[in-house]
Structure 1
């Protein structure tokens, strides 16, 4: 299926495009809220500036896709494959990314407020200056991720893997770290107002 056919069918009222093949298709700047692309192949597709608000992307393959400034707010993207995807400045407010793979994805300046990232793989991801305030990250893998300047205030980071992550000027205000493994994690240059740390933590909270 090409972009023209999909858009024509969408405008005619069709919403169900499960398992459709859209590999390398250009869907940039399209308005497709509520579309069902569950298990669709969107590898290396271009969706920049598109409106996919409230869409169904469960188990969709978005490997290497361009989602720059794409509106995915309130979308269900659980178990989706977003490896090395470009999500710079994407609107991911309240998106469901439970168990999604965001390995080495570019999420710089992305809006992830209130997002569900529980069990997600964000290993090696670039989250510089992303806003994750109030997000749910229980069991997420953030090993090797660049979290410079990111906002993690009031997030649930229980059982998160922070190994080798960069936490420079990261806002971790009002986070409970009692169930977080902070072994070999340097948080001395992070903002730690109102945090709850493990009893044996050597970090000084200012």
Structure 2
């Protein structure tokens, strides 16, 4: 399916586009709220500034796609693959990214407030200055992730893996830090007041 056909069908009221091939498609700035693209292939697609509020991209492949400033508020992204995707300044408030893949994704300045990132793979992701206030990161893999200046206050980090992650100036106030793996992490510049810090391993301070 090409982009023009999708937009015509969407404008006619169709919201279901399961398993469609939209590799390299240009959907920049389009309003596609509520669209169902589950199991679709959007590898390398341009979704910059697109509105995908409440969209369903569960099990979709969005690897290496550009979603700069895209609005995915309350979208369902379970099991989706966003590896190496550009999500700079994207709005991901209250999204469901349970068990999604975001390895080496660029999430700088992204809004992930109250998002469900439980058991998500964020290995090597760039989360500098991202807002993860109240997010659920239980069981998430954040090894080698860069969380410089990120806000994780009140986040659920139970059993998360932070091996070799960068937590410089990271706000961890009132976050659940019980049973997390902090192997190779320097917490000297992190803000940890009000936390229940019971790491599985010793931190390197």
State the TM-score, normalized to the length of structure 2: 0.96
Q: Residue 127 of structure 1 corresponds to which residue in structure 2?
A: 127
Equivalences, count: 203
* Partner Cα distance (1:177, 1:168) in 2: 16
Aligned residue for 1:11? 11
Distance 2:75 2:189 in 1: 34
User: How far is 1:198 from its partner?
Assistant: 2.0
CA deviation string 1:153-185 (max 9, x = no partner): 000001110000000000000022222122332
Q: Which runs of 5+ in 1 are unaligned?
A: none
Q: CA deviation at 1:118?
A: 0.4
Change beyond 3 A, Cα 1:201–1:105:
closer
- Structure 1 stretches of 4+ moved >6 Å: 199-203
1:171 matched to which residue of 2? 171
**Alpha-carbon distance in structure 1 between the residues aligned to 2:22 and 2:118:** 28
Instruction: Give the corresponding residue for 2:23.
Output: 23
Deviation at 1:195, TM superposition (A): 1.1
Alignment RMSD (CA, Å): 1.4
Unpaired runs of at least 5, structure 2:
none
Give the Cα–Cα distance (whole angstroms) in 2 for the partners of residues 17 and 73 of structure 1.
19
Alpha-carbon spacing, 1:142–1:199, altered in 2? closer, same or farther (3 Å): closer
